[in-house]
Amino acid sequence: MSKRLYTYAGFTAQNLKNRASIPSQADITVGSNYIDCSSVDIPSEIRDVIGEGSNDLGTIYLSAKVNKWSGFGPREWYVSGGVLLDRPRSNPYDMANFCGYNHNAIPPIASPAAWNVSQTVGANLNLTPELHLREIDWQIISLTDITGVLCEVYNGTTLMASQAASFSNALVFNGSSAYFDLAFANTSTTLTIKYQFVRMTENGYAKTFLIPNIVNTPVNVTMITGGGSNLPYINDIKLGLGVYDTYPTAMLMYGDAAGNNISGSTINFTIKGIDTDADNIGDVTGVTLNVYASKNGGANINIGTIRPARSNTVSFHQVYPGGFVLYDSVVITIGD
């Protein structure tokens, strides 16, 4: 039993061979845009891979152990009631349908599964979600003409932003992953990202079906007060030479940059203890370090001292002489 399988969606012939569980790698020949599979037999090539305790082809075909997410296999996707579903391929059952089958295939997912982001009040919110469609060739599904995917952001039922990606557009579709870049005005602390298959048209796109295994992605937004998209901001937090003089291998584990901000003339940032053994846990205590601030590349000004604790987070709050205005860029230095 043999079968030729052709490449699609940016996958190479070598990709198809490398991921195949059936037949054995020795029985797969790579061509320019195809692979040839041979020597598929029930006992060794199908039953054992599926993990089914029967040599009967019908039993194996209908087994719940068959991975429906494989790009090639004995199951197919179809549309019923406006929903994408899967089923065994029609009788008579054919061993050749197991050629190229990947028992370790992974279902489509959205990344990340949940968002926790920060946004300055008055500024746009920027989101860069990714949609990993894996190895199903969704364009050949019976009774559909799926040619792209759509990413939408909602505040409740209100659409805030959207972007469609064509399967044929190499800038946004690589292999089986789509990438989106969304920027929009937002005042909500709770948003939802939704994904759908679409049919690309001359005037944009038409929605078709929800993507199997993809659930709505929650977005939790922490608002940072200030006012305006060009607030003064902390450009960097770094260690001074004095820290390295005392602890040659020291690192400073400081907090998420979204939590480091400037409001008026006040600098707020978070650091963790100094880590000398690279285990991401602060382990230097009893040390007092000078803290300096430099505005727009100017001279360092000593704004106080700080004592990093061992493993818990320490907040530092200090008023900078002269204050700040829009666009100011500030660098914080810890140590002399």
Read out DSSP for 160-186? Answer: EEEEEEETT-TTTEETTEEE--EEEE-
Residue 147, classed as helix, strand or coil, is: coil
Q: Give the pLDDT of residue 65.
A: 95
pLDDT digits (tens, 9 = 90+) for 302-315: 888 776 655 445 66
Distance, in Å, from the CA atom of 151 to the CA atom of 128, rounded to the nearest integer, reads 10
Residue 96, classed as helix, strand or coil, is: helix
If you write DSSP's letter for every residue of 46-63 in order, what string do you get?
IIHHHT-S---HHHHHT-
Q: Give the pLDDT of residue 118.
A: 79
CA angle 217, 170, 177 (to 5 degrees): 30
Q: Give the pLDDT of residue 143.
A: 62
Mean pLDDT of the chain: 81
Q: Which of 19-33, 115-129, 147-161 has the lowest mean pLDDT?
A: 115-129
**Residue at token pair 């089923």:** 87
Q: Are strands 177-179 and 173-174 parallel, antiparallel or unpaired?
A: antiparallel
Q: What percent of the chain has pLDDT over 70?
A: 76
Terminal C-alpha separation, the chain: 74
Distance, in Å, from the CA atom of 289 to the CA atom of 269, rounded to the nearest integer, reads 15
If you write DSSP's letter for every residue of 220-262 in order, what string do you get?
EEEEE-SSSTT--EEEEEEE-HHHHHH-TT-EEEE--GGG-EE
Q: How far is CA 256 from the centre of its chain?
A: 18
Q: Is the pLDDT of residue 181 over 50?
A: yes
pLDDT digits (tens, 9 = 90+) for 93-107: 889 999 999 999 999
Q: Give the pLDDT of residue 39.
A: 84
Q: Report the candidate in 233, 316, 320, 336 with the shortest Cα–Cα distance to residue 271.
A: 316
Cis check for the bond before 308: say yes or no (omega within 30 of 0).
no
- Radius of gyration, alpha carbons of the chain: 28
Distance, in Å, from the CA atom of 136 to the CA atom of 168, rounded to the nearest integer, reads 15
CA angle 36, 176, 52 (to 5 degrees): 55
pTM, two decimal places? 0.66
Q: Give the pLDDT of residue 335.
A: 74
Residue 105, classed as helix, strand or coil, is: coil
CB atoms within 10 A of CB 76: 16
Q: Are strands 217-224 and 190-201 parallel, antiparallel or unpaired?
A: antiparallel
Q: Is the pLDDT of residue 157 over 60?
A: yes
pLDDT digits (tens, 9 = 90+) for 28-58: 999 999 999 988 877 778 999 999 988 888 8
pLDDT digits (tens, 9 = 90+) for 251-293: 444 444 445 667 667 777 766 666 666 565 566 666 677 888 8
